[in-house]
């Protein structure tokens, strides 16, 4: 620690110290410097050198050297910093290396130099025309939306495939889900399990009985459904043009999406009671949930209104609740159900009656009174 400095005459110069103008010694650094400041010590009889880390900004000339500015620890200008002196900008004003780029973040961006006016941004392109033919429209074949039109002979195989896939989905539905609709069959299967336990006293065999019964239900459901498909594919679905397009009062429609057939439906008139029957409705499983089935159903209703039929009727053995909700959303009323319906292809054998049950539902939509 140094003692108080004395003038040439021996008098102490301690009173001449001004804390507002500290002596600053700068080290050669760009991003951060340690500044040595001489301040009086606690006793007031001397001064101590304190090293304070300070960040320096490359600007105009300052006491710390050409092109340097004294900044406080917070990055802002310190009140104790000497005023910036006039003078030409040095090379350091242009920044030195990567450190200058990091320090520029401490300063607000300078306004851009005036230049030629920028060209106005181009307006966004106007939206193109929407494709005609929505879920229930009849747009042109080039449109992207789903549209309904009459069947063409070249679409025979596509219509048969959609019908086949839709019927094959009913095998597990009838075998497993359909069991909930037949409480008597459930009771019979429970009695068989109890009888097995009474005869064998084996829990393992008793637990295997329900699995075996469900396996038999799947086998006979597949057998009956395949027989029904064979019958349908060799009758009306074998020649759609002959069965639905040529006779009066009948028609067959397809739902087309991007040039592909994704749904089918047919209508056949019954002149005896002046009604139209809706049948063969099916939608490709990859395109369900888009309102295609409802659009097909509305097409049949439109056909019945145009030809002055009094009602539209349909029958279904569908197990899914979604199918029944669809018919109700179109305005159909449930007219009843039967557990004794015989599908085409059934043999009515004892095993078939024991392991295959189907419930037939009838719906009707009255268009006008007779």
> Residue 314 has what pLDDT?
96
> Residue 158 has what pLDDT?
96
Q: What three-state secondary structure class fits 1? A: coil
| Each residue's pLDDT tens digit, 313-366 | 999 998 889 999 999 999 999 999 998 888 888 888 899 988 999 999 999 999
Q: Which two tokens stand for residue 357?
A: 């049950």
Q: What three-state secondary structure class fits 208? A: helix
- The answer to whether the pTM exceeds 0.85 is no
Percentage of the residues of the chain whose pLDDT score is greater than 90: 49
> Residue 1 has what pLDDT?
41
For residues 288 and 9, the model is more confident at 288
Residues 350-359 as b or e (16 or more Cβ within 10 Å = b) = eeeeebbbbb
Residue 180 has pLDDT above 60, yes or no: yes
| Each residue's pLDDT tens digit, 107-164 | 344 444 444 444 445 454 444 333 333 334 444 444 468 899 999 999 999 999 999 9
User: How far from 263 is each of 14, 163, 286, 291, CA to CA, in Å?
Assistant: 103, 9, 11, 11
Asked if 269 and 249 count as a contact pair (C-beta separation under 8 A), the reply is yes
Residue 18 has pLDDT above 60, yes or no: no
Q: Which of 104-113, 294-303, 304-313 has the lowest mean pLDDT?
A: 104-113
Smallest CA-to-CA distance from 174 within 127, 234, 214, 132 is with 214
> Residue 116 has what pLDDT?
46
3-state per-residue secondary structure call for 171-187: HHHHHCHHHHHCHHHHH
Q: What three-state secondary structure class fits 315? A: strand
> Residue 53 has what pLDDT?
53
| Each residue's pLDDT tens digit, 205-250 | 999 999 999 999 999 999 999 999 999 999 999 999 999 999 999 9
Asked if 68 and 59 count as a contact pair (C-beta separation under 8 A), the reply is yes
> Residue 175 has what pLDDT?
92
By DSSP bridging, strand 47-54 and strand 250-257 are unpaired
Q: What three-state secondary structure class fits 108? A: coil
Residue 285 neighbours by CB distance under 10 Å: 11
User: How far from 205 is each of 5, 159, 200, 215, CA to CA, in Å?
Assistant: 111, 46, 8, 15
Q: Which helix (H) or strand (E) holds 314?
A: strand 311-316
Q: What three-state secondary structure class fits 80? A: coil
Measured distance CA(228)–CA(344) in Å, rounded = 5
């Amino acid at each position: 620690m140094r003692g108080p400095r004395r003038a040439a005459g021996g008098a102490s110069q301690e009173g001449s110290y001004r804390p507002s103008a500290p002596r600053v010694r700068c080290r050669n650094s760009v991003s951060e410097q340690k500044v040595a400041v001489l301040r009086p010590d606690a006793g007031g009889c001397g001064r101590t050198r304190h090293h304070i880390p300070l960040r320096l900004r490359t600007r105009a000339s300052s006491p710390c050297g050409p092109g340097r500015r004294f900044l406080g620890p917070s990055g802002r200008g310190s009140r104790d910093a000497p005023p910036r002196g006039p003078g030409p900008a040095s090379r350091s004003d242009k920044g030195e290396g990567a450190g200058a780029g990091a320090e520029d973040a401490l300063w607000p961006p300078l306004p851009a130099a005036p230049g030629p006016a920028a060209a106005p941004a181009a307006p966004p392109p106007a939206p193109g025309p929407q494709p005609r033919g929505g879920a229930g429209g009849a747009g042109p074949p080039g449109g992207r939306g789903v549209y309904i039109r009459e069947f063409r002979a070249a679409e025979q195989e596509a219509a048969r495939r959609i019908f086949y896939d839709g019927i094959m989905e009913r095998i597990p539905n009838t075998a497993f889900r359909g069991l909930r609709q037949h409480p008597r069959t459930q009771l019979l299967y429970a009695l068989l399990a109890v009888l097995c336990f009474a005869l064998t006293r084996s829990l393992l065999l008793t637990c295997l009985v329900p699995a075996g019964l469900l396996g038999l239900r799947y086998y006979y459901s597949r057998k009956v459904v395949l027989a029904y498909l064979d019958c349908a594919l060799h009758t009306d679905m074998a020649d759609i043009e002959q069965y639905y397009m040529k006779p009066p009062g009948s028609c067959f429609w397809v739902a087309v999406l991007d040039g592909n057939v994704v749904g089918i439906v047919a209508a056949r008139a019954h002149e005896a009671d002046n009604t139209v029957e809706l049948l063969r409705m099916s939608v490709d499983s990859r395109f369900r949930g888009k309102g295609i089935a409802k659009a097909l159903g509305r097409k049949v209703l439109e056909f019945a209104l145009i030809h002055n039929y009094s009602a539209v009727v349909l029958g279904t053995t569908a197990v899914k609740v979604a199918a029944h909700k669809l018919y109700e959303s179109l305005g159909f009323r449930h007219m009843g159900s039967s557990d004794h319906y015989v599908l085409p292809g059934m043999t009515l054998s004892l095993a078939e009656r024991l392991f295959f049950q189907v419930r037939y539902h009838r719906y009707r939509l009255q268009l006008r009174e007779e």
